[in-house]
Amino acid sequence: MQRLLFTALACLICLSFAGQEIGLGQTNWLIVDEERDNREIPCVVWYPAEESGDEATAASGDFPVFIMAHGFLMSASDYEDLALLLVNSNYVFVALDTETGLMPDHEAFGLDLSFVANQIIGGASLGFLDESLSGRVAVGGHSMGGGASWLAAAQNSSIDAVVAMAPSNTEPSAILAGDNIAIPVLVLSGSADAVSPPDTQHEPIYNSAVNSSCRAFVSLNEGGHCGFADTGTLCDFGELGFSGLSHEEQVELTVKVIVPWLDYFVNDYALGLELFESEINSEDLLTLDMSCTLEVQTPKSLSWQMYPNPVSFNLTVDLGDFNGVNTTIKLYDSSSKLVFETQSSATLMIDVSVFAKGLYTLEVSTSTSVLRSQVVLE
């Protein structure tokens, strides 16, 4: 069985959603495209569940879906860490397991992405998760899969958004297909990527989407090519001796960026784009280029603060605009385990010296708003 499932079974991953504790569920789909000679499209699916495990009962709610296309000589199981963090953010993560061999068909891979997206959007019966899917879908991919996501977006305007991680050009060309993309697109690029260099791959692919309603290019300083995937995959052999960001650091930065982007375009969260820019501007390792033609009035951002960050002893949470409002404050560790929870309507101080060092997520929520930010305990 896959590494992350063992981890999930050994340590229950607790989240908060509609007052429940949520675990990590896993299942498999086999989707058949009858119009392409009954082509079989196997998928590995991770989802919010009442408890962790295979075929676990789904948590209550309607969840948007992120469909992931893997890189060259990789597979669905190589993105379990990314899946875990997106499930933590209340997304269903569907990873395609086609075109895993030495001679991948890029065009077929893009068609697979588009077909699976259409099945979800159209409400096709996919098993016991049917009632848990909102019908909203983003597609994305890593390396070859990033290029394939461009091909899918060029032909399918029903997809809500695209996220391409270290995308590589494909055959047929993702670059040439780019001007047919009208939906929002996000490219994540490691500045130290020597496998698909940003100047010859990521940037031309991004620049090709001239008709996208909103496009963003995020560069991860000292990020690599394989850091978007799990540690120890075949991809790592192409980056022997790499000394930039660790896999853990790169995946955490990736999720920090893509969750507010997806929340805006796939989950209709009005402050998503503002939070997207704010998260990037607050992180020295990230730089942003964005061009949007959206005619959207963005509401004033709700103001709150936490400090110091990094922190060793006492973390102050200044509720700002939430002062006087019954607010729930939660702290999750890097494995998404809930380690602290309280309610307050005024500024409070949390003693974090009792927790292990590492990257944590602080969540501030009311009956109408949920805001999250990351904090380093050192």
Residue 1, pLDDT above cutoff 80: no
pLDDT tens, position by position, 130-189: 999 999 999 999 999 999 999 999 999 999 999 999 999 999 999 999 999 999 999 999
pLDDT at 75: 98
Q: Which residue has the higher pLDDT, 5 or 311?
A: 311
pLDDT at 9: 32
Read off the pLDDT band of 335 (50, 70, 90). confident
pLDDT at 352: 93
pLDDT at 294: 62
pLDDT at 332: 83
Amino acid identity, position 151: L
Taking residues 274-296, what's their average pLDDT? 87
pLDDT tens, position by position, 233-277: 999 999 999 999 999 999 999 999 999 999 999 998 888 898 999
pLDDT at 6: 33
For the chain, the average pLDDT equals 89
Residue 300, pLDDT above cutoff 60: no
Residue 21, pLDDT above cutoff 60: no
Kindly report the pTM of this predicted structure: 0.75
Among 77-91, 161-175, 182-196, 333-347, the least confident range: 333-347
pLDDT at 375: 87
pLDDT tens, position by position, 85-128: 999 999 999 999 999 999 999 999 999 999 999 999 999 999 99
Taking residues 354-376, what's their average pLDDT? 82
pLDDT at 19: 37
Task: Map out the domains of the chain with their CATH numbers.
Answer: 3-292 (3.40.50.1820), 305-377 (2.60.40.3080)
pLDDT at 8: 36
Read off the pLDDT band of 206 (50, 70, 90). very high
